[in-house]
Structure 1
Amino acid sequence: MYSKRDERFYLPGLGGHHLLSYDLKFVKKPYKPEFHEFQFRDIPQSLAYEYDLPELFCSSSRTEYLVESPSGEERFLIKWYADSNLVSKKVSYETQMFMVFREEETPEGKLMRYTDDIGDLCIFISKGGEAFCVQSSSFPFTNESFPGLLTNTIYFIGFGFSFYDLASKTTSSLQTPEESLLDGNAIPHWFPPSSS
């Protein structure tokens, strides 16, 4: 992820417990990435019971994404969990849940606090493109063909073509123009909004 605020590239490490950052100005020599370790806080106990987290963490495919709010004031780490199924000798994945952590800078380092409320924001994630974040109020309902964007929601392509409501922890499918959109070698992805 590129941070306009910090003018740095960030890359979450495997497992989402570490972060590498690269300074674009190449001020420090040698030109090595900086290493940051995350500390996680406030994961609710109710999630452990609802999802059987130890079992989910062991049996699921997990992918980590880092996104910055449009203002650059907030940064989120998203952990995407999907469960695999073997159907007709083909492995398919189904999204189980998302966990979102808001970054906080502390004297001890970067602290990641679990949240199920990102406010007026929505996050777009795909297996084939960069994750990004937009204000949902910037894209209101206009007509029946575009119902607008939902607040506090993750829109995703990859392990389904759906959106995930963070507050209710529910997934709803989006209609695709072609049933084969997610099949084959094509990797569809979201296009971030552009001011030009």
Structure 2
Amino acid sequence: MNNDKRPSLKFFAAAMVGVMVAPLIMLLGPPIMVETMYFDKDHIVLMTPWSNFILLALALVLIIINLFLLAWKRNKIMYILTGFLIVASVICAIQSTKNYTSIHDTGVILVHYGKEQHYDWNDFEQIIYFYDSSYGGLGQYEFTLKTGEKFKIEETGQFINEVRNLIYRIVRENNIVYLEQPLEK
């Protein structure tokens, strides 16, 4: 058996393993990281936005590109380039943990790249739930503040009936107008 230990083969093999494992990490990584880092028992639902998945995917692609580049050629310029790519992938991976949306008993928290916006339930004028009438379709909530500002939160698989009922109960307790409308496609 050939015991060739050339570095290019090791980098190529590592890149191929990365290609096979990356989809699993991309799908499971962001929700696990957000649920672990921002866990609070008062959360009704804690959601991971798609930007986290995209940033983690970018970080993993940069790592895989790094490994392929090192398998192809190793010289001073390539080491400098891979150094920059490693820094970029670390930055993307860190930023993929900085975004989340939380709905809990005291209000709604939107965190986008470290900028946190906290809205108490008494800040809302109305909430409209746009439901998808197709089987298994996910709807979205449109929150309207008393200042007129609006934002939407799309349902994910975490919005089970219990979560919807808790949101509805909190809305009724705080005398917020709650409407349900079909989602227009």
Please confirm whether the aligned pair reaches a TM-score higher than 0.5, indicating the same fold.
no
Greater relative contact order, per chain length (Cα 8 Å cut-off, separation 6+): 2
Instruction: Please give the range of the TM-score, normalised by the shorter of the 2 chains.
Output: under 0.3
* Structure showing the higher strand proportion among its residues: 1
Larger radius of gyration: 2
What TM-score results when the alignment is normalised by the length of structure 2? 0.23
